[in-house]
């Protein structure tokens, strides 16, 4: 592959709703440019870019797939992203290094949720984009209906760059409104022809809209357009290019990726209208890592974009982020799972290398100076506790999850020291299902999951007096420890308070700390429901000892028995963690979301508008929020997002606390 300068490179993210044909479009581009020898199929599991078994099984993209094509003296790096919401981290990785985007939509008059989400993501960064109405060969395909639906709902409003020649089974080409030429796809390639007479009136009408959009992209062109009422073909291209680069103009094209119709004109538009790669050829070698893949056989595969200079195979570079040195082995250009070897990857281009030792996503390689784009990692919203199916696989599961977290920054793995559970957190149930599948396939360990235990706290709301008696005297050295304690609640947040109120020698001084230790150990383990007990005053008021049989351990056990009895008699209550919740949703879903939060024992603190959306602030119990990510997706069809953080502990309603306490007491009695 010849070397291309940044001005001849286009880094393009392919975005859109699931099942709109993003991967098929990328496959079509690869096939018609000769990058692959045959057209793959997502349905048949033969697509070059959906090569992971989990993708082939589910018939959806899960990972970011990268491949390049050469067209018209340009190199186009395609970054094919998943459309399913659970894999949004792959989308942010692509957008970090792509200067432009293709938003793929279906040929219907309905705007998909994934289209709205892709549009909003691009708007946040004024991202240059083309919109492609795919599946023009399907029944009821309606290009102009799809464009008008997008114009009615989205900003910037797309403007037709083409109109289709035929539709459904008769779709056979496109009219390019910039040049007023027809391009017909056939078995021998693409043929240029005059605009069909039947489409001339429509083409002239739509070209006028396109010229207006082009004029708005450049002040000098706008002045000429207002004076003369038209622009030349070259000026239209120039104005569109400027408007697209600023994120103000979005040309709309049409194609059938499956039938390979309209794909070549799309590639031409990509090269003409989307901005060139950013990179400084004359600078020192620098690259940013935007994606990582882990494989137990190949090792870690690192995907990077060269920001300046050239990185070369067998070169040593500094990992500036981690303060380490890395040797770059054989560099290659990815083409799905295929590796196209290259001696160097230069400014603006995207490449990959295997088996780096310490480098992960967002690391900077090479020279330390200059700005570095960073992948924004979405925060996990759905958490499960994970357990190995087979005893003894604890280490294998931990190792496998650690490797998977390296390649998927949206996957978080942590151990909850309070509940002693290993937790995995991700962007949804499908995300975590795929993690389990990869864990089994790549690392040979099967796992089960369940909702995590909630970290409740125990406390008391009343007072009580109880005796703890541990007496065993059956010959030989016995055990003898008796203590009497009084308990009362202490103010929330003040923790455990201890008072020694024994006068005289009912319990010798050296055994009194043993009683306290036994009480505190029992409180840490949980006294009434198996959760740590907090905010309790304990006074040691009486007891008995034996000169021979009393011991430190006997009084520890007596203390633990005493606190258990006392707590059960002192109106025990459970405290539950309360979360601050912030939900961002389209305005039309406000009532349903507020109703759902109220049903989760939430307290609505307020709402405020946010550019056509609503932000709801609330507080809700952690236990009720464990499946909120799935509920919110169902209510808003994936449009809503939320975040939470711990706020405080609050008393659990008595009927719910009673269930937990009774269950624990029965289980404890069964073990004794």
- Model pLDDT for residues 302-350, shown as the tens digit of each residue: 999 999 999 999 999 999 999 999 999 999 999 988 999 999 999 999 9
Q: The tokens of 330 are what?
A: 């054989």
382-450: CATH topology: Alpha-Beta Plaits (3.30.70)
Among 73-77, 221-225, 411-415, the least confident range: 221-225
- For 120, 415, 634, the CA distances from 452, given in Å and listed in that order, are 33, 11, 22
User: What pLDDT shows up at residue 1?
Assistant: 58
Instruction: Report the top-level CATH class of 286-366.
Output: mainly beta
Q: Alpha-carbon torsion 314, 319, 320, 325, what sign?
A: negative
Beta-carbon-side half-sphere exposure of residue 480 (alpha carbons within 13 Å): 17
User: What pLDDT shows up at residue 387?
Assistant: 95
3-class secondary-structure state, position 34: coil
Distance CA 262, CA 256 (A): 7
The average confidence (pLDDT) of the chain is 93
- pLDDT-based confidence at residue 74 (cuts at 50, 70, 90): very high
User: What pLDDT shows up at residue 171?
Assistant: 95
List pLDDT tens digits, range 451-469.
Answer: 999 999 999 999 999 999 9
Domain ranges of the chain: 6-199+248-273, 286-366, 382-450, 458-570, 575-655
User: What pLDDT shows up at residue 295?
Assistant: 72
**Residues in a beta bridge with 500:** 540
**pLDDT of residue 617 exceeding 70:** yes
Architecture of domain 458-570 in this structure:
2-Layer Sandwich (3.30)
Helix, strand, coil percent content, the chain, rounded in steps of 5: 35, 30, 35
List pLDDT tens digits, range 252-266.
Answer: 999 999 999 999 999
**pLDDT of residue 671 exceeding 80:** no
Architecture of domain 575-655 in this structure:
2-Layer Sandwich (3.30)
Distance CA 534, CA 524 (A): 8
* Block residue for tokens 């103010």: 491
The three state secondary structure string of 116-130 is: HHHHHHHHHCCCCEE
List pLDDT tens digits, range 175-185.
Answer: 999 999 999 98
Q: The tokens of 414 are what?
A: 């942590």
Per-residue pLDDT, averaged over 376-396, amounts to 93
Beta-carbon-side half-sphere exposure of residue 284 (alpha carbons within 13 Å): 9
Contact between residue 274 and residue 237 where contact means Cβ atoms under 8 Å apart? no
Contact between residue 170 and residue 164 where contact means Cβ atoms under 8 Å apart? no
Q: Which numeric CATH code is attached to 6-199+248-273?
A: 3.40.50.300
Domains 286-366 and 575-655 share a fold: no
Distance CA 640, CA 100 (A): 25
List pLDDT tens digits, range 345-377.
Answer: 999 999 999 999 999 999 999 998 888 899 999
Q: The tokens of 137 are what?
A: 């060969």
- pLDDT-based confidence at residue 475 (cuts at 50, 70, 90): low
- pLDDT-based confidence at residue 666 (cuts at 50, 70, 90): confident
* Block residue for tokens 């795929």: 434
Name which residue leads in pLDDT, 11 or 52: 11
Q: The tokens of 48 are what?
A: 């070059």
User: What pLDDT shows up at residue 610?
Assistant: 87
List pLDDT tens digits, range 131-158.
Answer: 999 999 999 999 999 999 999 999 999 9
**pLDDT of residue 672 exceeding 70:** no
Classify strands 162-165 and 332-335 as parallel, antiparallel or unpaired. unpaired
- pLDDT-based confidence at residue 170 (cuts at 50, 70, 90): very high
pTM: 0.89
User: What pLDDT shows up at residue 601?
Assistant: 97
Distance CA 593, CA 597 (A): 6
């Amino acid at each position: 592959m010849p070397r291309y300068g940044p001005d001849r490179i286009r880094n393009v993210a392919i975005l859109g709703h699931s099942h709109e044909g993003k991967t098929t479009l990328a496959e079509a581009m690869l096939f018609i440019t000769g990058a692959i020898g045959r057209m793959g199929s997502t349905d048949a599991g033969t697509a070059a870019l959906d090569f992971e078994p989990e993708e082939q099984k589910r018939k959806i993209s899960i990972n970011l797939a990268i491949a390049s094509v050469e067209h018209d003296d340009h190199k186009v790096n395609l970054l094919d992203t998943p459309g399913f919401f659970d894999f949004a981290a792959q989308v942010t990785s692509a957008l970090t290094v792509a200067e432009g985007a293709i938003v793929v939509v279906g040929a219907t008059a309905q705007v998909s949720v994934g289209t709205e989400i892709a549009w909003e993501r691009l708007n946040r960064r004024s991202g240059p984009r083309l919109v492609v109405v795919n599946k023009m060969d399907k029944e009821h395909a309606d290009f102009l209906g799809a464009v008008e639906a997008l114009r009615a709902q989205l900003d910037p409003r797309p403007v037709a760059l083409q109109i289709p020649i035929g539709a459904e089974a008769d779709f056979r080409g496109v009219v390019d409104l910039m040049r007023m030429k027809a391009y017909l796809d056939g078995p021998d390639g693409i043929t240029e022809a005059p605009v069909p007479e039947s489409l001339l009136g429509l083409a002239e009408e739509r070209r006028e809209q396109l010229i207006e959009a082009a004029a708005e992209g450049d002040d000098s062109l706008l002045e000429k357009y207002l004076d003369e009422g038209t622009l030349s073909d070259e000026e239209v291209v120039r104005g569109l290019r400027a408007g697209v680069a600023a994120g103000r103009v979005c040309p709309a094209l049409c194609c059938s990726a499956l039938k390979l119709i309209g794909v070549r004109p799309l590639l031409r538009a990509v090269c003409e209208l989307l901005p060139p790669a950013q990179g400084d050829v004359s600078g020192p070698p620098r690259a940013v890592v935007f994606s990582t893949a882990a494989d137990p056989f190949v090792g870690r595969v690192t995907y990077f974009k060269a920001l300046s200079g050239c990185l070369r195979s067998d070169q040593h570079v500094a990992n500036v982020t981690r303060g380490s040195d890395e040797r770059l082995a054989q560099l290659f250009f990815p083409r799905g799972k295929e590796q196209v070897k290259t001696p160097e990857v230069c400014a603006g281009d995207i490449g990959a290398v295997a088996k780096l030792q310490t480098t992960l996503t967002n690391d900077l390689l090479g020279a330390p100076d200059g700005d570095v784009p960073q992948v924004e990692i979405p925060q996990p919203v759905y958490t499960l506790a994970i357990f190995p199916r087979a005893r003894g696989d604890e280490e294998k599961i931990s190792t496998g999850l650690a490797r998977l977290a390296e390649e998927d920054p949206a996957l978080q793995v942590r151990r909850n020291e309070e509940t002693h559970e290993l937790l995995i957190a991700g962007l949804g149930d499908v995300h975590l299902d795929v993690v389990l599948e990869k864990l089994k396939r790549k690392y040979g360990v099967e796992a089960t999951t369940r909702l995590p235990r909630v970290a409740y706290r125990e406390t008391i709301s009343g007072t009580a007096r109880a005796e703890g008696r541990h007496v065993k005297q059956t010959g030989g050295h016995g055990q003898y420890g008796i203590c009497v304690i009084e308990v009362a609640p202490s103010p929330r947040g003040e923790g455990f308070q201890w008072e020694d109120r024994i006068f005289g020698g009912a319990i010798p001084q050296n055994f009194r700390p043993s009683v306290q230790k036994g009480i505190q150990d029992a409180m840490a383990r949980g006294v009434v429901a198996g959760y740590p007990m907090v905010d309790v005053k304990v006074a040691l008021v009486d007891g008995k000892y034996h000169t021979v049989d009393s011991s430190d351990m006997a009084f520890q056990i007596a203390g633990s028995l005493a606190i258990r009895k006392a707590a059960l008699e002192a109106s025990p209550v459970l405290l539950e963690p309360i979360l601050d919740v912030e939900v961002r949703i389209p305005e039309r879903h406000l009532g349903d979301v507020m109703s759902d939060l109220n049903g989760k024992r939430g307290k609505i603190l307020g709402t405020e508008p946010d550019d056509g959306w609503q932000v709801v602030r609330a507080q809700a119990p952690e236990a009720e929020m464990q499946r909120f990510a799935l509920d919110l997706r169902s209510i808003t069809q994936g449009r809503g997002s939320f975040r939470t953080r711990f706020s405080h502990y609050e008393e659990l309603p008595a009927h719910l606390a009673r269930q937990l306490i009774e269950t624990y007491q029965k289980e404890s009695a069964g073990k004794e």
